[in-house]
Structure 1
Amino acid sequence: MERTNRAVTSRKSRINAQSARGMYVDGNTVRRLQEVPARSREMTEAQIAKRKKISRPASQSEKRRQQLSKEAQRNREKARSMGRGFVIFLAAVSVAVLFCCVNYLQLKSEVTGKMKTVATLESELSQLKEENNAYESQVTSDVDLNNIKKIAIGRLGMNYPTDDQKKTYSVPSNSYVRQYQDITDAKR
């Protein structure tokens, strides 16, 4: 007898799996390939009824059935066809939708135009602010404050204020003061 440990068993199962891959047992666990169902020799009920219609004249019940089918066909055609009122309604709705779409597009283009105008004006404003700041810095840099002080004291006879000329005041807590410039701390 042969030894059957794990190594031998796994080798045998690998060999069996390799040899069985190419094999197919027809009908074993899967459907049979290209299986065609057998045709029955018996006639179906529909074929029997068709032969009876051909062989004998139509009876009263069959005539009624044909009339009902004609009436059903007429009803179906009426249901499929659109009436004059429905066509008018659809045309009115289509015109309203078209009007809304055109109006929307006009408003959208108007808003876009206004946004472009605002952007242009904003860029113009920023350019003017830059120019004003440049002119202001140029004007203030040209002015010599020491020269002005000499002229004020020397030619015009101006002096610094004395303590009697200075007035102080108190501000209530709920009031406020607007300050347009910074006040220097240095005394002259």
Structure 2
Amino acid sequence: MSDQSSHRPGSIDPVLYEERIARLIRLAARAFNRSLTLRLATEGVTFGQWIFLRILWREDGLSQRELSARAHLTEPTAHTALSRMDEMGLITRRNTDGNRRRQHAFLTKRGWQLRELLEPLAIEANDLAVEGLTEDDLQVLRKSLAMMIKNLEQDERDAARRGFKVPPTRPQN
């Protein structure tokens, strides 16, 4: 078996070559998230808040439901993150179009200013992750991951047509 201490810094653990693709992707996503989380913390922003900031930088004024859908997160999770962002002065929430129940999130000046500080941190984490890969490697990786996403999304649609849905992660009352 592999002993981490026997590997040079920067060398790849040979055990990873034997792992399933799904596990490698999960490990890579976890490492990406942790790397970015470390960087975002320098500005007092969590990874969850980052997700919503990125969406709002592209499309300000979305409702909580729209934000949760774009982030692929539940509405209660979105509500918690947005409430904290409101408390931090990153967003304001207000009703639009006379609908008193549906609140939309709008970035504050501080929310917009964070873009200049946070985006370089994300670029740094991405650059670090792909260090040692050639442009050809990156193209193959992008194409491969895009194909995998397409295949798995089609699998989910096919299952839905057969009456199967991904079960919720929280217990239903």
The two structures have a TM-score, normalised by structure 1, of 0.17
The two structures have a TM-score, normalised by structure 2, of 0.19
- Larger fraction in strand: 2
Question: Which structure is higher in RCO with an 8 Å CA cutoff and minimum separation 6?
Answer: 2
